Amino acid sequence: MIPVEPSIGAGNPAAGFNYSVQLHPWCIVRFLPNLQRSIIQRFRKRTEAEEYLKALKRLLPETNHQIVFDPTL
């Protein structure tokens, strides 16, 4: 778990989640039917996301995944 500064997460658990999301802007997204999508995993570095995507493609070759940069969510 990523430590959250008390001023950011104090009194609002969602604020801590948003802070964590900002630290991990690179995402692996799985595309679902009806134009839906699901974030599979978040990463700090693009290279980490690329390695994870390679493993996903080996394990699930029939699914459609993409790396996206999402700093604001």
pLDDT in tens, 51-61: 999 999 999 99
CA dihedral 44, 41, 29, 52 (to 10 degrees): 80
Q: Note the pTM of the prediction, 2 decimals.
A: 0.67
Residues 19-31: pLDDT tens digits? Answer: 766 788 999 999 9
52 lies in which domain range? 25-73
Tell me, yes or no, whether 14 lies in a domain: no
Q: Is residue 12 part of a domain?
A: no
The pLDDT confidence band at residue 1, using thresholds 50, 70 and 90, is very low
Residue 17 lies in a domain: no
Spacing of C-alpha 29 from chain mean position: 8
How many domains does the chain contain in total?
1
| Domain assignment present for 42 | yes
